[in-house]
Chains A and B, each alone.
Chain A
Amino acid sequence: MKSKGIWSLNFSTIVIALIPIAVAINYLGKVIIETLKLPLWLDSIGTVISSMLAGPLIGAFTGLINNIIYGFTLSPISFVYAITSVVIGLGVGVMAHKGWIASISKAIVIGLVVGLLAAIVSTPLNIMFWEGTTGNVWGDAFYLYLESIGMPQWVASFGDSVVVDVPDKVITVVIGYLIYQSLPKNLIRLFNNNNEIEKL
C-alpha cells in the first residue's frame, strides 16, 4: 500500500538505488574532509540530499543504514549515533518537503535547527555511553571549560555537542541544498510520489 505525501515510506526501486549512493556520498564527505584536514565531520551530506529527494522517512532510513554500515566497516562506535543520523534525516526531510529550504539563507537556518536537534539527541547518548564527551578536540575543550566554571554535566555535554554539530550541520545543509539545486529535473521528478500515469 503506497502512502502519499510527506510521510510516504515507499521502498520503490529508485529509492533503493538512491540509498547506497547517499551513504557513499556521506563517506566521500568524510574522506575529503580528512584529506584536506578540515575541522568538521561533514559526514551527512548524502543523508541530507536523500531527505530532500525522497522525504523524511527515507532520509531517516538512509541515516540509519549509514551508521549501521559505518559500524560494520569503520568503527562500532557509529552504531551509537544511528539515532542522531535518523533525526537529521527526519528533520531535513520534513522541512524540505514543507518547502522551507528555498534559499541559502533559509538553508542556514534549517542547518541551525537540525544542528541543535542533533546535539539534543546526541547529548543523552554521549552521557550514557561515555560520560558526555564527543571525541572532537574543540568540543571537548569546551566541555572542560564549562565544567570548570561549575556547569552541571549535562550542560557541559550539550555545549560540547552544540559547538561541534551546529556549524557542521549548517554547512552540510547548505551544501546539500546547493547540490539539490543543481540536479537535473528528470532525476528529481522520479522521486515524486504523486505522479500517476495519465491517459492520453
Chain B
Amino acid sequence: MSKIRVEGLKYRYPDMDSLVLDDLSFEVEKGAFIGIVGENTAGKSTLCYALTGLVPHFFKGAYGGNVLIDNIDVKQSEISDVTSKAGLVFDQPFSQMTGSKTTVYEEIAFGLENSGVEREEMRIRIDNSLRLMDIEHLQNKNPYDLSGGQMQRVAIASVLAMKPDVIVLDEPTSQLDPQGSDEVFQVIAKLAESGITIIMAEHKLEKLAEYASKILLLHKGKQIAYGSPKEVFSRDDILEYGIAPPVYVRIAKALKLKNKAGFYPITLDGLKQQWNVGDE
C-alpha cells in the first residue's frame, strides 16, 4: 500500500487564470526518497504545498483530483491533521523560526505544544530530534543567533519532533552558503537512513542523484516523467524542460558512455564504473 497517492491533481491559485498543477498522478511508497525537479515555474513549490495540505486549505483557490496520505484525503481534512502527517521545510531559515521562543529547545517544543503532546513525551522527542540533526550543543541558544545552516536544521528538527509520516523539503539549501548547505544535506542523508518517507524539491541534482529512489520531472505544471534517477536524467530531451542534468551525466554524454540499459551514470562512482567498463 502506497504512503501517498496523487490522483489527477489540478490546482489554480485564487484570482489567477492558469493551472499551476495540471493533472498530476503518481504514488510514493513508504520509506521512499522522491526528488521533484523542474525549472522555477514548473510548480514544484505548489506541489510541496499540496502534499502538506497548505494547498488548498491555506491558499484556497480551485482544486481538483485527490491527494491521499495513508488513505486520508487531504482536501477533506483539517489543515492541522494533514500537517501532522506531512511536515514541510522550505528555503527561508529565518521565517521558519516562530520568533516566540528564546531557546532552540523551546522552539522545537512549539509544534508539540500546539498538538497537545504530554511533557514527558515532548522531552523524549525533542532530545531525539536534537540528536538526529546534530544540534544538541545548540539547544540553549536563541534561534536567531544561529547561522543559516543551523537554523535550517532547527526547522527540520521542529518538524521531525511532530513525528510526521512524510517530510517534504522545498529547496532547503537554496538560501544557504556552501557550509550550511553541506550541514543540511548531511542530516538529510541521516533522515533517509531512518526510514521516513522524504520528498524533496531541488535544483542541486547531483545531491538528488545520490539519495533519490525516484525523480518526478515537472514542466509548466504537467508531469513529464516519474522514474528512477538514471531513467529521468538520461533523457535526451531533458534540456527542453529547463534543467541541466547532473554533471556526471553531462560528462558521460560527452564521452558517449551509456550503460547496457541505455542510461547514463548519475554519480561519480557510476561514472568511474562506466569509464572502466568502456575501457575493456
B10 is an interface residue with CB less than 8 A from chain A? yes
Determine if B58 and A197 form an interchain contact, defined as CB atoms under 8 angstroms apart: no
Determine if B10 and A195 form an interchain contact, defined as CB atoms under 8 angstroms apart: no
Can you list, as one digit per residue, whether each of A157-194 has a CB less than 8 Å from chain B (1) or not (0)?
00000000000000000000000000001100110100
A195–B60 alpha-carbon span in the complex (Å)? 6
Determine if A189 and B75 form an interchain contact, defined as CB atoms under 8 angstroms apart: no
Which residues of B29-81 have CB atoms within 8 Å of chain A's CB atoms?
56-65, 75
Indicate which residue in A14, A20, A195 contacts B61 across the interface (CB closer than 8 Å). Answer: A195
A3 is an interface residue with CB less than 8 A from chain B? no
B99 is an interface residue with CB less than 8 A from chain A? yes
| Complex: chain B residue closest to A14, CB-CB | B58
Indicate which residue in A13, A186, A195, A197 contacts B75 across the interface (CB closer than 8 Å). Answer: A197
Indicate which residue in A13, A20, A186, A200 contacts B64 across the interface (CB closer than 8 Å). Answer: A200
**A198 proximity list for chain B (CB < 8 A):** 61-63
Determine if A199 and B63 form an interchain contact, defined as CB atoms under 8 angstroms apart: yes
**B63 proximity list for chain A (CB < 8 A):** 197-200
Distance of A193 from chain B, by nearest CB (Å):
10
**B13 proximity list for chain A (CB < 8 A):** 186, 189
B14 is an interface residue with CB less than 8 A from chain A? yes
A186–B59 alpha-carbon span in the complex (Å)? 9
**A186 proximity list for chain B (CB < 8 A):** 13
Determine if B15 and A197 form an interchain contact, defined as CB atoms under 8 angstroms apart: no
A185–B15 alpha-carbon span in the complex (Å)? 9
Chain A interface size band reads 10 to 19
Chain B interface size band reads 10 to 19
Determine if B99 and A197 form an interchain contact, defined as CB atoms under 8 angstroms apart: no
Q: Which of B15, B56, B60, B64 has the most CB atoms of chain A within a 10 A radius of its CB?
A: B60
A13-B58, A200-B63 known; A195-B14 Cβ under 8 A: yes
Determine if A189 and B14 form an interchain contact, defined as CB atoms under 8 angstroms apart: yes
| Complex: chain B residue closest to A12, CB-CB | B58
Determine if B99 and A199 form an interchain contact, defined as CB atoms under 8 angstroms apart: no
Indicate which residue in B10, B59, B99 contacts A200 across the interface (CB closer than 8 Å). Answer: B10
A20–B99 alpha-carbon span in the complex (Å)? 10
A37–B59 alpha-carbon span in the complex (Å)? 42
A20-B99, A185-B15 known; A197-B56 Cβ under 8 A: yes
A20-B99, A185-B15, A189-B15 known; A196-B64 Cβ under 8 A: no
Distance of A8 from chain B, by nearest CB (Å):
15
Distance of B236 from chain A, by nearest CB (Å):
33
**B11 proximity list for chain A (CB < 8 A):** 200
B219 is an interface residue with CB less than 8 A from chain A? no
B153 is an interface residue with CB less than 8 A from chain A? no
Indicate which residue in A20, A192, A199, A200 contacts B14 across the interface (CB closer than 8 Å). Answer: A192
Distance of A33 from chain B, by nearest CB (Å):
25
Determine if B64 and A199 form an interchain contact, defined as CB atoms under 8 angstroms apart: yes
Determine if A197 and B64 form an interchain contact, defined as CB atoms under 8 angstroms apart: no
A197–B62 alpha-carbon span in the complex (Å)? 6
B125 is an interface residue with CB less than 8 A from chain A? no
A119–B251 alpha-carbon span in the complex (Å)? 73
A185–B61 alpha-carbon span in the complex (Å)? 14
B5 is an interface residue with CB less than 8 A from chain A? no
Q: Which residues of B contact A (CB under 8 A)?
A: 10-15, 56-65, 75, 99
Q: A190-B58, A198-B61, A199-B63 are in contact. List 14 more A-B contacts (CB 8 A).
A: A13-B58, A189-B14, A189-B15, A190-B59, A195-B14, A196-B60, A197-B62, A198-B62, A198-B63, A199-B64, A200-B10, A200-B63, A200-B64, A200-B65
6 cross-chain pairs, A with B, having the tightest CB-CB distances, nearest first: A200-B64, A195-B60, A198-B62, A197-B56, A195-B14, A200-B10
